[in-house]
Structure 1
């Protein structure tokens, strides 16, 4: 994990950026904090500044894995700063703060870039930080982790959770500091460079090379910003409501290609359904990328990335529902701290129940009951707390499956009208922001008008299998019907969760 500080952007009269510290009678400026104090990753993020925008302009050569270029950060200071940190593990060539060369310490093993401006910075002032760098990311090890950047036969992938940014651009790497992004990557003509948001343009400025320009206009967490370079079949389409719908399929998917397309190409349809439950889709574009370079899938903002392994046994729209539900729960409404992972995975897993019901492959009642009945009371599964699983079990099955059961228990306790009003109110009031679990509990009680502390305490914080109460925390329906008539849905949901958990455990 990395140490961080905050660098920020602001406007001053006449458009003049004033970043030099003016001496006052107060205390001397000090360094920004080397982390935001996350309970699972204390070194993640930084203190002292707030990022508004990242402009990432890179050139990448797949044959050598050489990545070079400049990231420009527009930010605003939140305190007087003598120095600040950026989370970054590549070799840095230069740093400028407001166009003035700055001293820096480039601790690649720790993933810390410590910047000391030529003059201290005043609180509340805009700063522009330009970091030039060049390195081979696949050889970089940060805090003992070597796979934040994944070299593939035709390119590379910058896709991972909870951290991947430090392997390809300097940042304030914690979900509490979202920003907008411009990602511009030049690659050889025979490969493509995919990222988030909308494709602004491509251009060829020299023989043999193409530059791809991507723009994300909504606040985006650093770990949700991705880069996929390689040989992909790229499809530029439009959703029924006029949003860019961009997909990419690796040229090595083989027999899984058709199943992948039969799943990912239905993304607009699935998002239309999810919007009927969660409220309007929160972003400016949709899409998906399927690659054989990873075994897991991740909800990268506007364009989830799917491991081809997930389509080896056929189409898997349940996975598409899961990753796109994250566009509301995890991407738009982001984690306040990583221990609140249930706000991401429990909700996305419950979306799979809802999509199954929509498709006639088992109701949410049947799937919840089957999940509950399938796991014995003495299984260690029930000792993992979805609301605070611990960093080593952050992606445990219980966070997904028991997390979904907690939401079904809420639904049975408050009724459908209140339940979906709670979800839609949550995605509205927290759009583009961060949140913690107690805020959701408070909102659920306010919207439903019911005391819900005991329900959440039982399902999220008690290390034991909850009893099915008279208020229908889980339904009394017999799940055998779903198993006999359509076993695929639950099995596919569970398999998706197993693959995700397996991959994260390997990390």
Structure 2
């Protein structure tokens, strides 16, 4: 990450051109401890963030991302006297004593306000009020709407989240529920996320929810949702346990301790993933499995995006291309269209759309374009055709195993795929044609005709 030298202004960015004003240089966070008090009726948040970090070079000052909330106190290594300036979405901190390169340090930030989502090129991001509660959707740059952070996916850390709110409400956050205690009309929930997590995957969900236990193996799965949705939910998510079994077989062991699905009482444009959690809107529950492909898509993100997190947003296809292909793998396994049939449909649609998107470098405006999802998925299937099923799925398992809970790049995946092939040049040619060129390649005859399904 870009850092800043002693005595000169700090880098107020992670150096990612896709999000040039987000993230910060000069340090890596190892721990976030967030103690939040939230009043649902007034949308009032009071917080204390304790951030443990290691300086990657000498620091006379450093920055955190925080937007829309007011800072009242800042301590560095427990000492009063640190100067700070909060401008826009940057909190600039000057410690009393410079921090040496390689030194561990602790920052305490006390803050409060009425959190709200921020506008972005990708829509509204961050902490948002629901009719009854809260949803947090931070991808890619909304985490700073509710806690001070180094808001870039390359900086993954451990989290402890303590949330106190009104007792009728359930609180869902990342990791294992360590404790829940009620005092008068308020309940405090404590969650511990031991697996390293990117800021955009951190979340708090608050609502009047019931808890539904779904499965105990191969992974503990539960749902948190309004009681009125339970009947339809059982139909719409009834095959999620089978999805989990399939994905564990194809992608390797599930990377976290459990998996929770939240269904809000409000409609959502799209579902969203968080680490160990997926969030759906009331519109995704219809009793007819109308959103089952999205159930598969969000589940697969636990491997591709959450455990293996892109080091830079340019490589977003490592999240979305893989998740889209997981949809097609589930369709193939469950008696729907085969992956080849899905690809034929997607390719025909892509052929009628503008050919102005390079998957390996889509640019920030188009990094969540549906063409990236579909073409990334087709790329994986063409690679599967080249390698054969056994080698292809062993490649995916090797990929998730080697980088479990880490940060990854597309360069690393391409190199691993080439090293797994008997014809590395052919694999590189696939990537070059499908990822590095805007023009849509034709589908090969074998890909059009093959109708085989996954071997059990």
TM over 0.5: yes
Select between 256-265 and 214-223 the one with higher mean Cα deviation.
256-265
Matched, 1:351 2:326: yes
Which of 202, 224, 237 is the aligned partner of 1:225?
Answer: 202
Per-residue deviation, 1:475: 2.7
Q: How many Å separate the matches in 2 of 1:356 and 1:146?
A: 31
Match of 1:416 in 2: 389
- SS where residue 163 of structure 2 aligns? strand
Per-residue deviation, 1:4: 9.0
Which of 264, 276, 280 is the aligned partner of 1:302?
Answer: 276
Match of 2:86 in 1: 106
Which of 359, 377, 396 is the aligned partner of 1:404?
Answer: 377
Q: How many Å separate the matches in 2 of 1:439 and 1:95?
A: 39
Matched, 1:169 2:142: no
- SS where residue 82 of structure 1 aligns? coil
- SS where residue 354 of structure 1 aligns? helix
Pairwise mapping of residues 264-283 of structure 1 onto structure 2 (< 5 A)?
264=237, 266-283=239-256
Preserved CA contact (<8 Å) 2:121 2:365: no
**Residues 36 and 260 from structure 1, CA distance in 2 versus in 1: closer, same or farther, beyond 3 angstroms?**
same
Match of 1:209 in 2: 186
Match of 1:10 in 2: none
Which of 224, 228, 232 is the aligned partner of 1:248?
Answer: 224
Q: How many Å separate the matches in 1 of 2:375 and 2:311?
A: 21
Preserved CA contact (<8 Å) 1:4 1:172: no
Match of 1:340 in 2: 315
Per-residue deviation, 1:189: 0.8
Preserved CA contact (<8 Å) 2:176 2:192: yes
Matched, 1:454 2:432: no
Preserved CA contact (<8 Å) 1:189 1:209: yes
Preserved CA contact (<8 Å) 2:50 2:108: yes
Match of 1:178 in 2: 156
Q: How many Å separate the matches in 2 of 1:164 and 1:262?
A: 33
Structure 1 portions without partners, runs of 5+: 7-26, 480-507
- SS where residue 274 of structure 2 aligns? coil
Per-residue deviation, 1:266: 4.3
Match of 1:60 in 2: 38
Select between 30-39 and 453-462 the one with higher mean Cα deviation.
30-39
Preserved CA contact (<8 Å) 1:298 1:305: yes
- SS where residue 371 of structure 2 aligns? helix
Per-residue deviation, 1:216: 0.9
Per-residue deviation, 1:469: 3.1
Preserved CA contact (<8 Å) 2:143 2:202: yes
Match of 1:154 in 2: 132
- SS where residue 138 of structure 1 aligns? coil
Match of 1:429 in 2: 402
Select between 232-241 and 137-146 the one with higher mean Cα deviation.
137-146
Preserved CA contact (<8 Å) 2:71 2:110: yes
Preserved CA contact (<8 Å) 2:132 2:207: yes
Preserved CA contact (<8 Å) 1:183 1:214: yes
- SS where residue 348 of structure 2 aligns? helix
Structure 2 portions without partners, runs of 5+: none
**Residues 237 and 373 from structure 1, CA distance in 2 versus in 1: closer, same or farther, beyond 3 angstroms?**
closer
Match of 1:69 in 2: 47
- Report Cα offsets for 1:91-121 as digits up to 9, x if no partner: 11111111012211112xx311111111111
**C-alpha RMSD over aligned residues:** 2.4
Per-residue deviation, 1:343: 0.3
Preserved CA contact (<8 Å) 1:160 1:298: no
- SS where residue 379 of structure 1 aligns? coil
